[in-house]
Structure 1
């Protein structure tokens, strides 16, 4: 760290340095919450601002970039690659299928199978890809079992978070918390602080998983509504009745002889041709080059007012609307015509629009509507910026759906009929993951070393192809870690963490140390509900340690409280990526997460804090 002038003292003992760092933190939180900039760009901006304001932030250029070389960042990168290798073998999907076959149409078994599929496995495979893998499996289980997906998908997300508390590698939050704690121990020499071992808190994680699973099985079904009724099709579910219409092309129409692509003036009208019926046969994409003939019936997606304008301009006869989603399927091919597609974290579409991404041309697909943060969008879809978790209702031929399924940018909420899994590599994948865990447990090697060795082993054994390694990484997460780690350093080096810690410790005047620990758990849960779980860990662990030191309490207990609270963010769909993955396919509203998640958060606050006090002491 470069030398800086002594901080300028202000009123109430707050220095200019501290105020500047608080300003950077507030600015970062605003950008994270509003998503005015993509997360990775916000992270880069944080690094730049910290380095430019070095005289006040006390973060040098080298320190502002130190997040890229941090062990936690590299370990998370390696674990994401290992998780992708496991998913390529189809192991998690096969487990899900076995459980769904056992569940059948029994709703209690379905819920139990969902919790069992998402919970324990998330302790050993990063929970974010686990949910991405299981969303189509559980969605199919719900539809085949005559159950609303709304009853199963939120429990899947919550169970995966609970399972992530079992081991060091269950979630990126644990890895980051471990490295942050180790850095504080090295720099400040605080007794009792140390990096987490692989099974450091497994006994507490088992308790949290058991209590949380019981809540999901007994209480959650009574709080969850059937947001996606079983008997409804996609047209009803997405309220498309006023946005789909059929028109007949008259002989006098000026679009006769034109291609479908050129038939409607896209610059003038917000409309898409989704299907064409000719001589009793129905055709869907690719339609662009098909020439329009008199007597053709076109299915058009647009609003009523726009439809009237198109009918007048192009001399079309209005005939009505499709009765159900089967009217949008072709009669000449046996294929799935409509499917929901979720924008995955790290997707190249995040931050883009349907128009700028050339989505239709790339996948021969039409987007009928999409859900974004609880809002169903029908109009001007080409101009709306897509975000992680947005769910598109897509009409596409089998080839287009296969390409969507194979693309890591998307979670297709429907399993392909003939999935291309490398089932013969399952023993290799299991052996490699177990080797990574055992080596990190019984040898002096750090998890980052064993995980990187596991990546090499997966490529060497053919579990992963070399070209898939880079696509396996969620670069948004990596850049986020690289950006918030130096922000945590700024909090420590300027004394901002100490100031906040002293303020939190002041609650000890009315609460015992155990009560202060409980307050930290709840505060972390609230913060994580509006920003990234990784960001909350980096920002709050230094504060928690300072508060513990001020109280004379066990700092490791406070670190665990922050880590567990950040790993179990149930109250909002934006607090954890897995919640975003199920938000659209489950048809949930923002209030659904609060109604189901708040009681669970409060229950686990008592269980977790009590467990920490019993196992480690306060």
Structure 2
């Protein structure tokens, strides 16, 4: 083993460890790996950022933009109303919903498809008297499976196609993934509809009005004449027993106290950190005469710090408060934070909600974790639920700008028939151009983006908003790192180790090994990153065995798309964590069954359609 091979393997191991740790965002980890390779001489500085011009990266960005065009036009809403039966039973409703999710995911970003169908899924769950999670998890898995069926259905397919082209074998075509991907998707969806849905943990009993969101942590102020003024903490907790709420901390004179003594007295202007279910908040407030802290008219602390002219800031905020009170359109709405949201890592103070949108963050729910920080300083994460207060249009604007999904029932957008046809035809022609080899996929979809901008199915201001930039940076950074694995011979070294120690020279066992290892890694880290890491190894295994790499690359594509065991393996799994009331370990019961089915179906089909 050469020094360069040791170096790239060490970098790769640290990169995977950072992915699994989850302390830093995936794109930051990828940039760390890339720049480390440049500094130690494994990647030529002139080629360090060549990944940003890679066809796979361009194609992913263009598909995201074209997907936004379909959403803007109302094409998905129109298709939803046609495809989903209103009064069907559980089996037909679930089959139609998962089928629609899989169909959409084959031709648009699967996270976008999931976000669009989430409110529909929650409505279906209410109608069928199931928990929201029993519909959301099947839908999430259905959209993941649907992405396997086409070249543009999911980033791993595009990445795999790019590695095939770099190996001198040409790119995979649009529907090369369809025979195996469609078979796997159909059988897995049928399994979920008939049997698998019973493996989804029911976190709330049937007949609910809403969904299990976990306990909210919010802050309430003791106002003048409040019943809590002068009470001991033990007396307050006794009063809250019946509404299933508890005090987890207090703030007195700007001093935060966690686990305060039960005999401590609470006074006017003290702040209580309250943990309660969403439906219990109202009861808790009324029993003790408390007021939500964010509803108290005051100047946000972040504004006080930026300028001493607090009177000016108050006048800036006053029109927003007056507008809301004049129209009377003040509502509460729960929002789920998308994996691609730019809110990740930011707090309410960082966002300046009142100044920018005239809305308040009243509470935050994060399943499986409790933060002892002040509400305004808690860093928001993907999958969090936010309880927002304000004018409906202001909350909707905030959700659209910051990558959040409203979970309350909503009216479907009124479709614009002209825009629907324009957006659909643009997508169709872009797909056809790539599928029939008329143009490279990146060029074909880039022309589609240009057409969308001309006819304004995607307004110019939304073009860059539609792109999931962390994923783009992740791909662009890892492509040169994967290239270093090949040039140093590290990929061949790993391939030989796997063949000699496990597969023992058997090509079929080697194929199964690549599929299972890829699937395992995809459950633990980003699927695009998994594909970028495993493609050089798959090509190395095929080269060592003297067989065609096509079946091994297809195995990587399938394995990278089948992340069903954890909430972190795929963005759609993360998205349903809060709304479904799930815990980290709730995915594996259904997920392990699906992954066994995937291996059992895809291995023989790989040997049939892509013989060794």
Tell me the TM-score normalised to structure 2 length: 0.82
1:249 to 207, 224, 230: 224
1:116 to 93, 99, 106: 99
Partner of 1:381: 375
Residues 85 and 17 of structure 1, relative CA distance in 2, 3 Å threshold:
same
Query: Quick check: 1:18 aligned with 2:1?
Result: no
Partner of 1:88: 72
User: How far is 1:480 from its partner?
Assistant: 0.2
Query: Quick check: 1:369 aligned with 2:364?
Result: yes
Per-residue CA distance 1:142-172 (angstroms, 9 max, x = gap): 2344321111111111111111111111111
User: How far is 1:523 from its partner?
Assistant: 0.6
1:162 to 145, 151, 162: 145
Residues 503 and 106 of structure 1, relative CA distance in 2, 3 Å threshold:
same
Structure 1: gaps (5+ residues) = 1-13, 187-192, 255-263, 271-301
Q: Kindly report the root-mean-square deviation, in angstroms, between the aligned alpha carbons of the 2 structures.
A: 3.4
Query: Quick check: 1:218 aligned with 2:204?
Result: no
Checking the alignment, whether the CA contact within 8 Å between 2:65 and 2:466 is kept in structure 1 is yes
Alignment map for 1:295-374 (pairs within 5 Å): 311-314=266-269, 324=280, 337-359=331-353, 361-363=355-357, 364-371=359-366, 374=368
Moved more, 242-251 or 31-40: 242-251
Please give the alpha-carbon distance, in whole angstroms, between the structure 1 residues aligned to 2:328 and 2:205.
Answer: 25
Residues 481 and 112 of structure 1, relative CA distance in 2, 3 Å threshold:
same
Please give the alpha-carbon distance, in whole angstroms, between the structure 2 residues aligned to 1:202 and 1:385.
Answer: 41
Residues 77 and 523 of structure 1, relative CA distance in 2, 3 Å threshold:
same
Checking the alignment, whether the CA contact within 8 Å between 2:505 and 2:545 is kept in structure 1 is no
Residues 18 and 97 of structure 1, relative CA distance in 2, 3 Å threshold:
same
User: How far is 1:339 from its partner?
Assistant: 3.0
Partner of 1:77: 61
Partner of 1:544: 538
Structure 2: gaps (5+ residues) = 230-249, 287-294, 296-324
Residues 148 and 172 of structure 1, relative CA distance in 2, 3 Å threshold:
same
Checking the alignment, whether the CA contact within 8 Å between 1:350 and 1:388 is kept in structure 2 is yes
Moved more, 536-545 or 492-501: 536-545
Please give the alpha-carbon distance, in whole angstroms, between the structure 2 residues aligned to 1:616 and 1:202.
Answer: 12
Please give the alpha-carbon distance, in whole angstroms, between the structure 2 residues aligned to 1:224 and 1:265.
Answer: 40
Residues 312 and 413 of structure 1, relative CA distance in 2, 3 Å threshold:
same
Please give the alpha-carbon distance, in whole angstroms, between the structure 2 residues aligned to 1:420 and 1:22.
Answer: 53
User: How far is 1:99 from its partner?
Assistant: 4.1
User: How far is 1:502 from its partner?
Assistant: 0.4
Partner of 1:569: 563
Please give the alpha-carbon distance, in whole angstroms, between the structure 1 residues aligned to 2:255 and 2:191.
Answer: 50
Partner of 1:279: none
- Partner SS for 1:356: helix
- Partner SS for 1:355: helix
1:452 to 425, 446, 450: 446
Moved more, 392-401 or 516-525: 392-401
> Alignment length, in residue pairs?
551
Checking the alignment, whether the CA contact within 8 Å between 1:147 and 1:230 is kept in structure 2 is yes
Checking the alignment, whether the CA contact within 8 Å between 2:221 and 2:270 is kept in structure 1 is no
- Partner SS for 1:208: helix
Query: Quick check: 1:51 aligned with 2:47?
Result: no
Partner of 2:19: 32
Checking the alignment, whether the CA contact within 8 Å between 1:248 and 1:316 is kept in structure 2 is no
Checking the alignment, whether the CA contact within 8 Å between 2:364 and 2:384 is kept in structure 1 is no
Please give the alpha-carbon distance, in whole angstroms, between the structure 2 residues aligned to 1:116 and 1:162.
Answer: 10
1:176 to 151, 159, 176: 159
Partner of 2:292: none
Residues 17 and 127 of structure 1, relative CA distance in 2, 3 Å threshold:
same
Residues 218 and 248 of structure 1, relative CA distance in 2, 3 Å threshold:
same
- Partner SS for 1:311: coil
1:559 to 538, 553, 560: 553
Checking the alignment, whether the CA contact within 8 Å between 1:233 and 1:325 is kept in structure 2 is no
Partner of 2:303: none
Residues 25 and 360 of structure 1, relative CA distance in 2, 3 Å threshold:
farther
Please give the alpha-carbon distance, in whole angstroms, between the structure 2 residues aligned to 1:537 and 1:391.
Answer: 30
Tell me the TM-score normalised to structure 1 length: 0.81
Please give the alpha-carbon distance, in whole angstroms, between the structure 2 residues aligned to 1:570 and 1:252.
Answer: 49
